[in-house]
A = this chain, B = another copy of it.
């Protein structure tokens, strides 16, 4: 049974979801449609990329992911079908995909699909479901259009590493996502952390929060209820949390808040 996921900024009230699901079921009767998220902030491709990047690896090979965020095509940002990690991704190449993949995908095909309608406001329904159907019916992805040499690049802020003359090392990153519990997820990866940690003591600080965090926890309950902790989330990104509390509100953490890790001299 083919799996098609949907990640959109449509919300769940309007008819858009019904239209796309109806159309998929009409043309691919045994399709299994999975909602990833429809609550992306409108037009926010950073959020959409973070969410899909955080879960696509959990899906089986062959899964097709439709991206209904900022999906209008333009000469610079064509509709594309991408093959990567044995899965497929369909959307507009507006920078979103470059935020999802660390490496260049196996195939990037700019779609040349003839719509059944003359409407250009609902690409997910009029273009992406057709591409989806072709892939599921066995059409090689190359036949969906012409190969594109690379993805549109989107600048994303990478953590900075600074070494002080007195032997301190600082990693300066930022919060990239606040989840439903108001856990604050940063762009500092476990790999980067470990590369510089070398068993040194460290302090994680942000805002004017006085009690810097000085250890990495394994689970929220490693600290007392209502106490702040830091841990690596299921995608190995540094997360600042409060056990059974809302770190975002309690600690003043928001999208883009700077996070500093200071390692002591060895």
State whether B36 touches A17 (Cβ < 8 A): yes
A206 at the interface (CB under 8 A from B): no
Min Cβ gap A42→B in Å is: 5
State whether B55 touches A34 (Cβ < 8 A): no
Who on chain B is nearest to A36 by CB? Answer: B18
Contact-residue size bin, chain A (C-beta under 8 Å from the other chain): 35 or more
State whether A72 touches B220 (Cβ < 8 A): yes
Stretch of A117-125, A194-202, A257-265 at the chain-chain interface: A117-125
A74 at the interface (CB under 8 A from B): yes
Cβ-defined partner of A43 (8 Å) among B7, B32, B244: B244
Q: A13-B40, A22-B60, A121-B234 are in contact. List 18 more A-B contacts (CB 8 A).
A: A1-B29, A1-B30, A3-B25, A11-B180, A12-B12, A12-B37, A12-B39, A14-B51, A15-B50, A17-B35, A17-B36, A18-B58, A19-B55, A23-B58, A42-B246, A117-B234, A119-B232, A121-B219
Q: Which residues of A contact B (CB under 8 A)?
A: 1, 3, 5, 7, 9-23, 25-26, 29-30, 32-40, 42-43, 50-52, 54-60, 63, 70, 72, 74, 117-122, 125, 179-181, 218-221, 231-234, 244, 246
Q: List 8 A-B contacts (CB under 8 A).
A: A11-B179, A12-B37, A15-B36, A15-B37, A18-B37, A22-B63, A72-B220, A118-B218
State whether A51 touches B15 (Cβ < 8 A): yes
Cβ-defined partner of A51 (8 Å) among B18, B37, B122, B181: B18
State whether A13 touches B234 (Cβ < 8 A): no
State whether A220 touches B121 (Cβ < 8 A): yes
Chain B residues with CB under 8 A of A22: 5, 34, 55-60, 63
